[in-house]
Structure 1
Amino acid sequence: MTDSSVDYGAVFKALVAPLLVMTPDFVILAASDSYLKVMGRGQADLLGQDFFAVFPPNPNDPDAIEDYLRASLERVVATGERDFMAVQRYDLEATGRQGVFEDRYWSAINTPVLGPDGEVELIIHRVDEVTDLVQQLGRSGERGVTGARAELETMRTDVYVRARQLLDVNERLKQTTSALQEALDRQRRFVFDASHDLRNPITGLLTELEVALSEPDSDLHPVLRKSLRDAERLNDIVADLLELARLDTATPTTTEPVDLAHLVMDELERRTLTATVLTRLDKQVVVCASRIRLARLLGNLLANAERHTTTTIEIIVTTDPPNAVLEVIDDGPGIAPADRERVFERLFRLDDARRQDPGGSGLGLPIAREIAQAYGGHLYAADHSTGARFVLRLPFAA
């Protein structure tokens, strides 16, 4: 239970450890007396000021550590977790002597203070100065045997260099850990969503079979037709998951020259589309890729266009050196600018897509983009006056 009679402000000011309190955007709110003493500043110099404006880096120090300190503070805000910094050099501008910096060495701990909503409200910045220790290493030996000073100077330099190296390694490890955690989170979400999509047709299939078994005299043909559609849907989802697994593991595939105009004509002959298809196909637009995978990419774009179009789908093959360009355009409701990247996220589906095809998995467009990237290209949703326009750009075959 909190004792309201305690003056916590006075306690903070009197703490031996040099402490500074700042906002998540690094505006200084309070400083302990020991912090003011160490820094050679007064309350009026600090309060309400941006930390990096009050303590600018030494412009003459190529190893100025401002970026590391700023990265540490930003990491605290982003993660809500304490961050430790190795020994570092951060020179201070001499009081009343603008542009004149004093050599200073520090270790620091940045600690978040969380609000009721779990967001970072304050940052407590604690420093421990080790300047005297580092400089003592340099001064020691002046009274010793010949060569001691040089050895101790080397030791001092080595300590500082090793600290900087540790700091660099620590920063890289934190970035790698963050990236790995993000990848794991994406993988967990993907497995969960994919399992949900698989469960729907499985549930439908089981229900239809249970009904058929409970009514042995009923006509089985409608049940079998429904079961076949559910089985086909399961097969499509599994095929999509296998394709994504191959793309994720970068499984090498045989490449060959592929004429995009021929690819489009072959795919249109193979498919029976309900919409009218218009084509404008330049000749001799050749790329180097797997014909099977490019057919999968084009098939996914056509399936998406057919799902959303009103009457007409347009396919264009042209050139924009050094790239070959393939466009698939429909005259449906189109894609809002804010959603043009989201449609390439795995399992993401717009509300309109869910209405048009409730059994869809949301994997077609992500697979198409990853196939494009596998061959050095890019697939994106572009502006169009009516409907959606998907543009594939691939390098010309050498």
Structure 2
Amino acid sequence: MGKEPDAAFSRLSDSFSFDRRLYGEDVDASLAWARALGRARVLTESEVEALVAGLEEVRGTLADPAFEPLPTDEDIHTAVERLLTEQVGPVAGKLHTGRSRNDQVATDFRLWVMRACDRIEVAILDLARAMVQSARAGVDLPMPGYTHMRPAQPVTWGHWMLSAFWPLLRSRDRFALARASASVLPLGSAALAGTAYPIDRQAIADDLGFESVSPNSIDAISDRDFAVEYLFAAAMLGVNLSRHAEGLILYSGPEYGFVELDEGYTSGSSLMPQKRNPGALELTRAKAGRLVGHLTGLLTTLKGLPSAYDNDLQEDKPPVFDAHDTLLEVLPVLTGLIGTLQLHPSRMAAAITPDMLSTDLADYLVGKGLPFREAHAVAG
């Protein structure tokens, strides 16, 4: 290309602002690639050593939040290469031998998603433990159960709290599946037709912790199923957390009064001094829409793409990054909120009315020999 890119187009295509968080994965994947080139006798031992040392220096530089990219650093990959060249000189130019930006980006992103799933799992388990503790505290506390937002049958606080615990564990399983989907190494696929060098891809997979290597190079560089699966897991988790938050908003309100929120998780009013609004729960409820939007957005981006790599795929990362950040904001807040809930057993018990035992009466009559339909009519 002889002509410089248009300035407005350069701004449009710049991705450093969001993909800089891939620096650790880019360095790790580059280290593995350098060693693979060494094993393939493409690089000498001394060249590999120089690249390894230089890449570790680059890692330290990029770990500094104060790092400022140059205008020519259009993404994290060009920044890493520039910094590496400053560290080790011309040998840095050998690192990209047999590698394309296409398989490089796909590898970095998959590695990041794998690690992100691990971080989310920790946060999910923290919340799950808080739910179990709350359930234990109210294991024998009777309260009304509701269907259609109307009183139905008595349950216990512990039973109600665990109704949010089990969806949480299903979300943990979904993130594990997303991690497994991401754990397929694309490195070695190059631009789309594979690399001409005798690279041991399984050794790279072992170095980086991938479970397997991709079987088709065209699919490997364009596959973003793992990102969609991550976003689905995030959206489903967000929806279930939103539903639980809605229940806590209702039960902590004065009309119910079953629980009381710690003031650290409420917000006030600029006008009404008495207000203690369930701000943390309301924001949890709202974030679900954000997460669903990210899933829908990426699916819409992918639906018309041909095979192999297209620049559209640059837009795969912002929704995944934001979904991850959103969950790591919401989950710890809910963990703290549930861990500090104050239960009001008397309010729960007082809300149970005799008609809520109608099903038990019908079952009693069935035990006395009455057909259930007749017992249902009598009890009702």
- Normalization by structure 1: what TM-score? 0.28
Which has more strand, going by share of residues?
1
**Which one has a bigger Cα radius of gyration?**
1
Higher share in helix: 2
- Normalising by structure 2, report the TM-score: 0.29
